[in-house]
């Protein structure tokens, strides 16, 4: 049997339900009933009226006034299957690009660690970086269409965690953490 892989796991949209929590916060921000904001969004949230110039203000409000990274619900199965993979000897490396709003890094890091520990998510490494391919994982679990395409273009094994932002991305795709687990185990069996 081959050595167990390093699994590079994204947080937002993969472990933490970023879109569900951000929908609640955006409804408050725009003073709209939540039902007026579709749960099926594209990357960038334009369906909610979020423009590129307005996203930073919304995100800053979400992070500082609503503890976005601390209060997101966990995606079902993330804890269970990451623990299972960890218990089986896989090295879990969390990779997230949450440091893109200037002067907000301390809040982003603190909320991230509290969320991970509070939800019992196992990990050996925690990387805050945009260039995810630089961390040296063997398999990536990612939902951002741009990141999936970039990782795959470099020949890196990448499972696309399915949501409305990445419906156009080809297989391998996983609709659940159980599917992610099965793909990783199959990939490393003799």
Strand partners, 12: 16
Q: Which of 10, 17, 138, 143 is catalytic?
A: 10
Neighbouring C-alpha atoms within 13 Å toward the C-beta of 93: 19
**3-class DSSP assignment, residue 6:** strand
Asked if 10 is an active-site residue, the reply is yes
The enclosing H or E element of 125 equals: strand 125-128
CA distance 11 to 26: 20
Asked if 40 is an active-site residue, the reply is no
Please choose, from the candidates 84, 92, 106, 107, the residue with its C-alpha nearest in 3D space to the C-alpha of residue 11: 92
Catalytic residues: 10, 12
């Amino acid at each position: 049997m081959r050595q167990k892989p390093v699994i590079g796991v994204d947080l937002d949209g993969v472990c933490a339900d970023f879109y569900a929590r951000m929908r609640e916060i955006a409804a408050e921000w725009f003073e709209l009933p939540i039902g007026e904001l579709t749960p099926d969004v594209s990357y960038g949230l334009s369906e909610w009226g979020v423009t590129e110039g307005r996203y930073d203000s919304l995100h800053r409000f979400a992070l500082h006034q609503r503890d976005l990274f601390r209060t997101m619900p966990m995606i079902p199965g993330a804890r269970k299957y990451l623990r299972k993979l960890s218990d089986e000897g896989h090295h879990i490396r969390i990779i997230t690009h949450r440091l893109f709003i200037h002067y907000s890094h301390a809040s982003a890091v603190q909320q991230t660690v509290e969320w991970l520990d509070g939800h019992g998510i196992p990990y050996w490494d925690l990387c805050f970086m945009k260039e995810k391919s630089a961390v040296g994982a063997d398999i990536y679990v990612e939902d951002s269409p741009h990141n999936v395409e970039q990782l795959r273009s470099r020949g890196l094994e990448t499972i696309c965690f399915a949501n409305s932002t990445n419906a156009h991305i080809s297989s391998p795709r996983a609709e659940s953490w159980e599917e992610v687990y099965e793909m990783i185990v199959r990939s490393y069996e003799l």
